Structure formats: structure tokens, C-alpha cells
Amino acid sequence: MIITIEGPTGSGKSALALQLAEELSGEIVNCDSRQIYRYLNIGTAKPTKEELSLVPHHLIDIINPDQFYNAGLFIRDASAAIDDIKARGKMPIICGGTGLYVRSLLEGLFSHPPIPSEIRERLKLRMEKEGREALYKELSEIDPAFAAKVSSNDPQRILRGLEVYHAGGKTISAHWQDQKKESRYNAYRILINPPREVLYERINKRLLRMVEAGLIEEISGVLKQGYSWDDPGLSSLGYREFRPYFEEEESLEGCALIAAQHHRNYAKRQCTWYRKIRFDLTLDTISFRLSDITGEIKPLIIN
């Protein structure tokens, strides 16, 4: 058995995971696609050194900001971590808001026809000429279900959605539906889903705390190491929004407002994703009693 703690950004997943891990003799497996990057700590809301010392964490700080990572690599790394944790008699707790990673871990990756190089190149050229927004609009018309899970600022996934469709005439969402599999793990899935207004207020306050905690200095330090705004790490949510400040095109306050808006938009997409999933336990508030949660889970562990 494994436990997953899922929910939109800013909902309090990490805090609950830490409490559960201490209560159930567990170890945490990160499932946040940004916390895998070294040096990017503040903008990813990575656990603090103190929190990392309390409970073993896996898949945090495993690659550099200029390296790519995907669901296939996550399955490989998370499966190895889960096997190791279970072999030592501990409880694996998967924590993070990257829904695609969780689904891929539980159900496996879907397959699709190979993408001809000419289709890939043609779409790349269109992206350069027409821009992300134009191709995102096309994706939204072709595959609205997949587009709802993708940011308009994520060129890699926009291109992938269009490539799959143009290569075989079938959308990614259709492939997923046709290839649904039984979960490879017995997972107890927990969703933290606070009211939208509460969540948005938390997101706004957390973004301000990040700036006050030294987010700008963190970005500056990463750039001084030789990493680029075009690298996967710095082009991710919570970092790319501050590029105009460094290039003297926008004020810090203006960038922070944009970043907060993008985080809220991301949270909204995550909530849309979670509506289609059946969870074993849904917490519709940020305040909860840990004893109630462990009371639900402990009998399952014993059995």
C-alpha cells in the first residue's frame, strides 16, 4: 500500500505529508515537477532543511536546472524509491501536485503512434512564427480536455498534444481513455481541496513570502552559475514571471502580481484535473484533525 497526498498548489500538501509520515512511520516521495531541481528552493516551496531532517524525502534536488525530466523518468525513480521504502518496512507517501506524474505512476504511460520528424519540425516552426498562444488555441479546439491540463506557457506539452493529433488523427485524451489500466499500486488517495477563495488568498500570501524570503536573490544566484532563462528550471512557474524584472522591463511588484495570477490559474487547472478522479478521502478545508485521517488509514495498513 502507498498513500498519495494531492491537491492544488498552496493547499498544504507538504504539511500534511510531514505529519502523516511522522505518525505512520513513513517516508515522502516528492511528486512536484519543480522540486526535483537543485538550487530552486524558494520559488518551488521546497521543504526546509529542518523539515527534510525530520522525515526522509526522495526525489528532491535530483537534477540541475538545465536538465529535462518527464513522467517516464518519474515512474522509474519513484518506483525505485517506493520499493526501497517498502523493503525497509516504511510507508511510502507520494506528495505533490503534478497530476500527470501521479497518474503515470499508478496507471502507467499511454502509448501513441511515432511522431514523424516532418510533423515535429513543422509544428516547431509554427511555434516560432505564430507563438505559443496561437498553438495553444488550436490545441484547445482539438483536445480541450488535454488543453485544460496544460499551461499556455508550456510549449513542450502544447507541441506534444498537437504532434500526437497530427500524427495519427487521435487526441492524447482519447489515447488516455482507451488505455486506462488497473493501478499497479494499492493506493490510498487523499485530496486537499479548500474553498477557492481560501486557496487564492493563501497563494497570494505565499508568493509575497517567497519574495520576502529572497526569491530574487535565489534567481540571481542561479543565473550567476551560468543557467539560462530558457532552461527548464528557470522557465517554470514561479521563476519565468520575474524575467522582465531582471531585464528591466517590469517592476518587482508587477512581476509578483503576474506570478500570483499564474499560480492561481495553475491551481484552477489542477482543480479541474482532480474533479475527474475518485479519491478515498477529500479534505475540503485547510484545518483538519490528523487523528481523523490516521484513524481512516491505520486499519487499512494493519489489514
Same domain (yes/no): 272, 250: yes
Same domain (yes/no): 44, 136: no
Higher local confidence (pLDDT), 165 or 303: 165
Same domain (yes/no): 128, 226: no
Residue 298 covered by a domain: yes
Report pLDDT digits (tens) over 130-155: 999 999 999 999 999 889 878 888 88
pLDDT of residue 182: 66
Domain of residue 93 covers 2-108+189-302
Same domain (yes/no): 258, 160: no
Question: Which of residues 178, 202, 221 is at a domain's end?
Answer: 178
Report pLDDT digits (tens) over 170-217: 999 888 777 766 677 999 999 999 999 999 999 999 999 999 999 999
- What percentage of the chain has pLDDT greater than the value 70? 97
Same domain (yes/no): 92, 201: yes
Question: Which of residues 134, 154, 178 is at a domain's end?
Answer: 178
Phi, psi dihedrals of residue 45, rounded to the nearest 5°: 55, 40
Same domain (yes/no): 93, 133: no
Pairing type for strands 57-58 and 26-30 reads parallel
Q: Quick one: which of 8, 59, 40, 99 has its CA closest to 235?
A: 40
Residue 183 covered by a domain: no
Question: Which of residues 156, 178, 200 is at a domain's end?
Answer: 178
pLDDT of residue 292: 76
Phi, psi dihedrals of residue 135, rounded to the nearest 5°: -75, -30
Same domain (yes/no): 36, 153: no
Same domain (yes/no): 193, 79: yes
Residue 165 covered by a domain: yes
Domain tally, the chain? 2
CATH label of the domain that carries residue 281: 3.40.50.300
Same domain (yes/no): 173, 200: no
Same domain (yes/no): 133, 49: no
Contact 182, 231 (CB under 8 A): no
Report pLDDT digits (tens) over 280-298: 999 987 667 777 788 888 7
Joined grid coordinates for residue 299: 486499519
Contact 274, 193 (CB under 8 A): yes
Same domain (yes/no): 194, 236: yes
Q: Quick one: which of 16, 60, 104 has its CA closest to 288?
A: 16
Contact 151, 158 (CB under 8 A): no
Angle of helix 13-24 versus helix 290-302 axis, rounded to 10 = 50
Tell me if the pTM is above 0.75.
yes
Q: Is 265 exposed, middle or buried (0-12, 13-18, 19+ CB in 10 A)?
A: middle
- Measured CA to CA, the distance from residue 296 to residue 197 in angstroms comes to 28
Residue 27 covered by a domain: yes
pLDDT of residue 296: 80
- Lowest-pLDDT choice from 101-115, 209-223, 251-265: 101-115
Residue 69 covered by a domain: yes
Maximum Cα–Cα distance across the chain: 60
Q: Is 78 exposed, middle or buried (0-12, 13-18, 19+ CB in 10 A)?
A: buried
Distances (CA, A) of 244 to 161, 214, 216, 228, 258: 28, 17, 12, 14, 11
Contact 135, 122 (CB under 8 A): no
SS3 7: coil
Contact 236, 98 (CB under 8 A): no
Same domain (yes/no): 197, 243: yes
Residue 184 covered by a domain: no
- Measured CA to CA, the distance from residue 125 to residue 24 in angstroms comes to 52
Angle of helix 196-213 versus helix 252-274 axis, rounded to 10 = 140
- Measured CA to CA, the distance from residue 117 to residue 87 in angstroms comes to 43
CATH label of the domain that carries residue 136: 1.10.20.140
**For residues 244-268, average pLDDT:** 97
Q: Where are the alpha helices (DSSP H) in 55-116?
A: 71-87, 99-107
Joined grid coordinates for residue 121: 519540425
pLDDT of residue 181: 64
